A and B are shown apart, each in its own frame.
Chain A
Amino acid sequence: MPHDDMGTHIPTTAIDYIAIEESPDFIAHKRRHRSFVFPLAVAFLLWYFAYVLLADYAHEFMSTKVIGNINIGLILGLSQFVTTFAITTWYVSFANRKLDPAAEKFRAQLEEAERA
């Protein structure tokens, strides 16, 4: 890719990326991606910090025994593992079903445009 004197990329292709970026299809694709990952990222971070603050400042609550020697702290800690695995699986299934087909369609169009 060519650069100007400060080393910044200069657009090379004839493809009008601004037009693509502003097309309704692409806006929908971008919204589909962001409206999934952003809320989920906020949710897991809030859940993680809620757990951290409980473990840090609510020792008595976390030390409450539930089953045998297993206390609330251990259950909440292990449920962090469970939610991490669950979010991973959920995101992958979403990405495979919703994001990949759309990305593939755009890629085919762009490659077509580049050849033209």
Chain B
Amino acid sequence: MTVGDPILNISIFAAFVVVTLVIVIRASRTNKTANDFYAAGRSFSGGQNGTAIAGDYLSAASFLGICGAIAVNGYDGFLYSIGFLVAWLVALLLVAELLRNTGKFTMADVLSFRLKERPVRLAAATATLAVCFFYLLAQMAGAGGLVSLLLGVNDRVGQSVVIAVVGVIMIAYVLIGGMKGTTWVQIIKAVLLIAGAGVMTIWVLALNGFNLSALLGEAVAVAGEDILNPGAQYGATGTSRLDFVSLALALVLGTAGLPHVLMRFYTVPTAKEARRSVVWAIWLIGLFYLFTLVLGYGAAYLVGKDTILAAPGGVNSAAPLLAFELGGSILLGIISAVAFATILAVVAGLTITAATSFAHDVYANVIKKGAVPPNGEVKVARITVVVIGLLAIVGGIGVQGQNIAFLVALAFAIAASANLPTILYSLFWRKFTTRGALWSMYGGLASALILIIFSPVISGAETSMFPTADFAWFPLNNPGIVSIPLGFLLGWLGTVTSSVKEDPRIAAEMEVRSLTGHGAEKASSH
């Protein structure tokens, strides 16, 4: 089954790619130094950067995933939106400004300010690459699944070709545009996505006389009373309820540890602009999640659960099918193009983050020990972009048709377990040591990965990656409830057992600089 006109869908998408590529090429003319390539010369305003953060954050999982979850499971889908939004308060209150004041390009810059640089950088880069990789796989797999519905490409080979095309375009954006080009792609995409969802939201509300209760009543009439009540997805057993607590923990603590989010705090000139970016991001993201609530319940009655689940994209097809129901082929084409743009922009943001982390942390500071020829680092970053792009294409083709939600939840759980404890400790705990950082990062990363491998998402259930095998002993789908406290505990334990104390002069310097902005990297002048 296909809906709408595949040619129209492809044309609108191609127009988006052409327009953004022109903008990327124009934006890249001033790209010269590492500062330009990684941090866009720190030249973006808070409003621009906040919009780009929203563009980076509102992935296909947010748009298609949450609309679909609400349309099919009702209230339980709404819980995702709340976790994804409230998480930004951690970033706003505890992380964004202090991080901007003490780092240059990556999360590892902050950690290595006063800890032993090389081991800490290597650990931080490992965690960053792991988070980016799982997040990338989820986006690429999502792209493959989407096309089956939107472009009428149903066979495996066709979907693989589409994944490859998405990967190649993304490599082009990042190679040509660096952080500046990537940021513009994200700004344009955020505006299109929020505007598109806004139009559909107003449309659905208008059909119900702008009365939310009436809209909910229509959904109840089609789907039954339970669609308004919690528990449809997670209420079945004691284990599934505990799984929900675990997911809620990973969502709220994961955001402030996501490397591609952290990196965006460096593209602005000052901590004050970093704060302003987060405020913009919170308003835009919050508004968008309010839209998805209306769209989800709208799809529940205008399209219907059975039609959504029977469509090739499954639960992810709720939003596009609703667009078709409302505005026919044209609106479907626009919304499909926006969904593709969403995937493309998020993938580009992840790729530049992973490349920066490898080139800046591993190559320049660990392998070359800081002795890098001018532009050598950027050259390595560009090569890394190509390698990561190819890996993402191969990986994306490999995980086609797999359950992608767990990849995103895994990325959040790793970020919350491996990254957040060390970031908070090093910003707020003067006695924190290198051993504490290493135990926390490697321990958080390893425990999250191990628990996922032995959980029902990999084996032992009908919905697993390997449904025929059964080596699962961890009952929950999300490891957060164990691995996040473990990451914090290991950071504390490693610190109190350290015999080597860190230099108090550097700790004092970091604290003074984090709270005053003294010595922070400034905007480049061109």
Contacts and interface: CB of A to CB of B under 8 A. Distances in A.
Given A7-B112, A51-B82, A63-B229, A21 B516 contact: no
Contacts of A91: 92-93
Nearest to A105: B516
A6 interface: yes
A62 B220 CA distance: 16
Contacts of A51: 82
Contacts of A73: 75, 228-230
A34 B516 CA distance: 14
B86 A7 contact: no
B38 interface: no
Contacts of B286: 81, 84-85
A68 interface: yes
Contact of A8 (B214, B276, B290, B503): B503
Contact of B518 (A77, A81, A85, A107): A107
A62 B229 contact: yes
Nearest to B114: A9
Interface stretch (B54-62, B241-249, B375-383): B241-249
Nearest to B97: A95
Interface in A20-69: 20-21, 26, 29-30, 33-34, 37, 40-41, 44-45, 48-49, 51-53, 55-57, 59, 62-63, 67-69
A110 B518 contact: yes
B506 A71 contact: no
A35 B114 CA distance: 24
B116 interface: yes
Interface string B85-117: 110111011100100000000000000111111
A56 B234 contact: yes
A30 B515 contact: yes
Interface string B188-226: 000000000000000000000001111011001000000
B51 to A, nearest CB: 16
Contacts of B89: 41, 44, 84, 87-88
Contact of B85 (A55, A59, A63, A84): A84
A106 B244 CA distance: 45
A20 B113 CA distance: 18
Contact of A7 (B88, B118, B289): B118
Nearest to A70: B213
Contact of B90 (A6, A8, A41, A77): A41
A74 B75 contact: yes
B279 interface: yes
A29 to B, nearest CB: 6
B213 A56 contact: no
B512 A71 contact: no
Contacts of B217: 68-69
Contact of B230 (A8, A49, A63, A103): A63
Interface residues on A, range: 35 or more
Nearest to B90: A41
A24 to B, nearest CB: 14
Nearest to A76: B82
Contacts of B85: 80-81, 84
A81 B515 contact: no
Contact of A37 (B76, B82, B94, B517): B94
Contacts of B512: 17, 20-21, 26, 106, 110
A96 to B, nearest CB: 8
Contacts of B252: 45, 48
Contacts of B76: 55
Nearest to A59: B231
Nearest to B370: A3
Given A18-B505, A20-B508, A84-B89, A106 B518 contact: yes
Contacts of A26: 512, 515
Given A11-B509, A85-B282, A88-B279, A18 B504 contact: yes
B398 interface: no
A111 B374 CA distance: 28
A33 B230 contact: no
A103 B428 CA distance: 17
B365 A103 contact: no
Contacts of B116: 6-8
Interface string B269-296: 0011001101100110010011000000
Contacts of B220: 69
A92 B272 CA distance: 10
B369 interface: yes
B23 interface: no
Given A20-B508, A44-B89, A110-B512, A68 B213 contact: yes
B78 interface: yes
Given A84-B89, A92-B279, A8 B272 contact: no
30 contacts: A3-B117, A7-B369, A9-B112, A20-B512, A26-B512, A30-B515, A44-B89, A48-B248, A48-B252, A51-B82, A55-B75, A55-B230, A56-B235, A56-B245, A57-B241, A63-B229, A68-B211, A70-B216, A71-B228, A73-B228, A74-B216, A80-B85, A81-B289, A84-B85, A84-B86, A88-B279, A91-B92, A92-B279, A110-B518, A110-B519
